[in-house]
């Protein structure tokens, strides 16, 4: 019998990080741990969300002695305004990423370099949006779909088109509660306007707008981003890859792609596959070109090309510290400015590519949709530059950790349902998969007790990846299926939880499902923007069950979140009717009213709210209890 490969423990990951940290110390360069230490104690007013610098009469800090800012704003208004600004900034980030993808879609042509990889998805969105397709050139249709998508950002009237994908009950909630988003940009601008000096000071109204601007992300920007990315680069399919820093290769040209927007990294991946450049690399003494990913660009590229994943958010400095990276090529979001200084100690070329993300110390090679026709040539030039840089490696400074894990990735919504449908239909001669019934039956029967969307980042406030991994393992043991995205999915990758044999960690019911269907118990759904896929998955289950999403034994969990994007996400997940379990407290603790609104108040609006607990073991117990309470309410 084949022996099962060990799972990687958090201690093994930490030992690797400690060795890389020693290298940093030896070179007298700082890492996030040093900077975190230098920031202690972190400002309590900021932590509690009760420092306001929205106008230049401030900054105003709320204390028992001074309970109001100069304008008279109280702690609830100040904390509420900053919370809404976080949600608006997060929504803006995801949505602007999507806008860039829409512009690239608008530049597609049969001549390339950007072509249509999923014409079926293009045609189905065209049909959904009443765009004529009969007898038309595919690229004409693509350009019109892109234009209609772009109108969603700034249209003057109506609400977002994709809201009609929701359950009827949800659509009514969104309409009745006035949280149905209008144009994406309008919700972001309205949020900034509402929080501008001298505007909304009512915390309840600020929380309601947070839900609305979050919805503009999840059912607008992110959903458009995901769908258009699939049209451009293909809807992901299941494939096997490898994860953790050990994917960097001692004898190959290592190019790390990092960020979120896959448009340029797709070209880097294609360029690195060209025979011309592989031969060039061999001519320089390397065995090949190894593309590895960080953060969500890794998630995008792995789902479509099997690109190996070097790690998540807090591993970005570690990747450079291996001394084995010829080039780190970044696009947007979650990129440490520290990389600009760190690269000076190594031969690594740090390349920024987006006007949205300019970092001192980097070399800027601009990529925008306006210049899409030259993207492949630019990518080739960069890959060649990385190859030329191989000879500059400081070989005495190389340390590549050895831990790697296999990972099965690429489960978009349709794939998950088709796989689960395989449980009952696998005996049939043809393959009529796609019914939600087996998935629903498995939940009703209790073979699967429920599901958790594990999402979010790393945050140095807690032990990196510990909460992700501990929570996921305990969920599996309780027969709760996990779908993951973003850095949470990468934590699962590093630990080995995306392997088929991770079913051994499951309770009897989930293990049986994984065995019958042939899936890992943690399903990799993609990047942060792909949480929109999760919203469609729960919506599909609810519709086919004949209930609303808020009744499902399905919740979201972000135990190590840090980004403003996570605030936007948490808001749209709650607005979709799913409770969100957080391991990091939102910065509103200084306002009892805000704490009550985000944990209880939203339940009256959307039927869901936050549960916050810094202890991962207590948090997972409350998730299990929450799921069991939903089951009891359904009588299953």
Give which of 557, 493, 495, 482 is closest to 521, Cα–Cα. Answer: 482
Residue 571 Cβ vs ligand SF4, minimum distance, rounded to whole Å: 23
Distance CA 408, CA 33 (A): 31
List, in sequence order, every residue forming a beta bridge with 311; answer none if it has no partner.
294
The three-class DSSP label of residue 447 is coil
The correct pick among 53, 136, 172, 394 for binding ligand SF4 (CB under 6 A) is 53
Least separation in angstroms between CB 91 and ligand MSK = 13
Among ligand SF4, ligand MSK, none, what binds residue 75 when CB lies within 5 to 8 Å by partner kind?
none
Binding pattern for the stretch 306-345 against ligand MSK, x by CB under 6 A and - elsewhere: ------xx--------------------x-----------
DSSP string for 103-140? HHHHT--TTSSS--S-HHHHHHHHHHTT---TT--HHH
Using CB under 6 A, pick the residue from 245, 335, 514, 528 that binds ligand MSK. 528
Residues 189-218 that bind ligand SF4 (CB under 6 A): 197
CB of 47 to ligand SF4, least distance (A): 17
- For 452-490, letters b (16+ CB in 10 Å) and e give bbbbbbbbbebebbbbbbbbbbbbbebbbbbbbbbbbbb
Residue nearer to ligand SF4 on the CB measure, 54 or 462: 54
Closest CA relative to residue 558, chosen from 505, 611, 507, 594? 611
Tokens standing for 606? 């959307």
Yes or no: say if 410 and 303 are a contact pair by the CB < 8 Å rule: yes
- Our finding on whether 113 is near ligand SF4 (CB under 6 A) is no
Q: Does 469 contact ligand MSK by CB under 6 A? A: no
Q: Which does 487 bind (CB under 5 to 8 A by kind): ligand MSK, ligand SF4, none?
A: ligand MSK
- Per CB under 6 A, the list member of 50, 73, 213, 517 interacting with ligand SF4 is 73
Angle between helices 119-128 and 222-233 (to 10 degrees): 140
- C-beta of 6: minimal distance to ligand MSK in Å? 26
Q: Which is nearer to ligand MSK, 85 or 170 (CB)?
A: 85
Q: How many residues of this chain bind ligand SF4 (CB under 6 A)?
A: 14
Is 150 a binding residue for ligand SF4 by CB under 6 A? The answer is: no
Q: How far is the CB of 433 from ligand MSK (least distance, A)?
A: 30
Instruction: State the Cα–Cα distance between residues 188 and 87, nearest whole angstrom.
Output: 9
Which among ligand SF4, ligand MSK, none contacts residue 60 (Cβ within 5 to 8 A by kind)?
ligand SF4
Q: What distance in Å separates the CA atoms of residue 528 and residue 565, rounded to the nearest whole number? A: 8
- The CB-of-487 to ligand MSK minimum distance in angstroms stands at 3
Contact predicate 537/552, CB 8 Å: no
d(CA 206, CA 49): 14
Nearer to ligand MSK, 352 or 563 (CB): 563
CB of 561 to ligand SF4, least distance (A): 26
Q: Which is nearer to ligand SF4, 60 or 321 (CB)?
A: 60
DSSP output for 230-294:
HHHH-----EEEEESGGGS-TTSEEEEEEES-HHHHHHHHHHHT-HHHHHHHHHTT-S-EEEEEE
Smallest gap from Cβ 591 to ligand SF4, in A, equals 13
Applying CB under 6 A, does 296 fall inside the site for ligand MSK? yes
Give the nearest distance from C-beta 616 to ligand MSK in angstroms: 17
352 binds, among ligand SF4, ligand MSK, none (CB under 5 to 8 A by kind): none
Q: Is 57 in the site for ligand SF4 (CB under 6 A)?
A: yes
Residue 563 engages ligand MSK in binding (rule: CB under 6 A): yes
Alpha carbons 249 and 325: distance in angstroms, whole number: 9
Beta carbons within 10 angstroms of residue 407's beta carbon = 30
Cβ(387)–Cβ(276) under 8 Å? Answer: no
Instruction: Give contact residues for ligand SF4 (rule: CB under 6 A).
Output: 52-55, 57-60, 69-71, 73, 78, 197
Instruction: Give contact residues for ligand MSK (rule: CB under 6 A).
Output: 260, 295-296, 312-313, 334, 456-457, 486-487, 527-528, 563, 565
């Amino acid at each position: 019998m084949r022996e099962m490969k060990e799972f990687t423990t958090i201690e093994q990951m930490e030992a690797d990080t400690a060795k890389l940290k020693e290298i940093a110390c030896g070179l007298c360069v700082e890492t996030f741990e040093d900077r975190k230490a230098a920031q202690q104690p972190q400002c309590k007013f900021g932590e509690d969300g009760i420092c306001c610098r929205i106008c230049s009469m401030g900054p105003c800090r709320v204390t028992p002695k001074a309970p109001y800012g100069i304008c008279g704003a109280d702690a609830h208004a100040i904390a509420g305004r900053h919370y809404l600004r976080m949600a608006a900034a997060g929504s803006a980030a995801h949505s602007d990423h999507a806008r860039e993808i829409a512009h690239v879609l608008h530049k597609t042509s049969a001549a390339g370099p950007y072509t249509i990889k999923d014409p079926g998805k293009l045609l189905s969105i065209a049909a959904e949006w009443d765009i004529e397709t009969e007898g038309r050139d595919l690229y004409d249709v693509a350009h019109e779909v892109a234009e209609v998508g772009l109108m969603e950002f700034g249209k003057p009237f109506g609400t977002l088109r994709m809201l009609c994908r929701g359950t009827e009950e949800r659509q009514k909630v969104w309409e009745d509660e006035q949280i149905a988003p209008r144009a994406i940009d309008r919700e972001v601008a309205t949020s900034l306007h509402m929080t501008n000096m001298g505007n909304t000071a009512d915390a309840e109204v600020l929380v309601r707008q947070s839900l609305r601007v979050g919805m503009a992300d999840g059912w607008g920007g992110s959903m458009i981003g995901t769908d258009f990315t699939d049209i451009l680069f293909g809807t992901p399919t299941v494939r096997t890859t490898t994860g953790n820093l050990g994917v960097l290769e001692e004898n190959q040209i290592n190019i790390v792609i990092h960020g979120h927007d896959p448009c340029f990294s797709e070209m880097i991946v294609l360029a690195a596959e060209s025979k011309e450049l592989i031969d060039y690399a061999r001519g320089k003494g390397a065995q090949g070109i190894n593309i590895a990913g960080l953060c969500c660009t890794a998630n995008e590229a792995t789902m479509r090309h099997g690109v190996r994943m070097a790690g998540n958010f807090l591993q970005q400095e570690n990747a450079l510290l291996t001394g084995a990276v010829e080039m780190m090529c970044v696009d947007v979001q979650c990129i440490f400015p520290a990389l600009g200084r760190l690269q000076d100690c190594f031969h690594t070329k740090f390349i920024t590519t987006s006007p949205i993300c300019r970092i001192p110390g980097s070399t800027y090679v601009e990529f925008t949709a306006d210049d899409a026709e030259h993207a492949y040539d630019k990518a080739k030039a960069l890959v060649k530059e990385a190859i030329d840089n191989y000879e500059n490696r400081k070989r005495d400074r190389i340390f590549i950790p050895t831990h790697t894990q296999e990972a099965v990735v690429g489960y978009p919504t349709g794939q998950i349902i088709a796989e689960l449908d395989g449980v009952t239909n696998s005996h049939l001669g043809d393959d009529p998969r796609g019914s939600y019934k087996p998935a629903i039956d498995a939940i009703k029967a209790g073979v699967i007790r429920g599901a958790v969307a594990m999402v979010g980042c790393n945050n140095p406030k807690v032990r990196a990846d510990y909460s992700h991994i501990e929570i996921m393992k305990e969920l599996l043991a309780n027969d709760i299926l996990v779908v993951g995205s973003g850095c949470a999915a990468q934590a699962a990758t590093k630990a080995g939880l995306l392997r088929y044999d991770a079913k051994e960690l499951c309770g009897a019911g989930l293990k049986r499902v994984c065995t019958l269907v042939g899936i890992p118990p943690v399903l990799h759904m993609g990047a942060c923007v792909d949480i929109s896929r999760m919203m469609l998955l729960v919506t599909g289950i609810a519709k086919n069950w004949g209930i609303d999403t808020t009744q499902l034994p399905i919740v979201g969990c972000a135990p190590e979140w840090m980004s403003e994007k996570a605030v936007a996400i948490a808001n749209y997940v709650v607005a979709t009717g799913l409770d969100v379990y957080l391991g990091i407290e939102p910065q509103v603790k200084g306002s009892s009213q805000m704490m009550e609104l985000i944990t209880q108040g939203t339940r009256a609006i959307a039927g869901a709210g936050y549960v916050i607990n810094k202890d991962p073991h207590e948090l997972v117990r409350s998730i299990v209890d929450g799921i069991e309470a939903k089951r009891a309410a359904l009588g299953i």
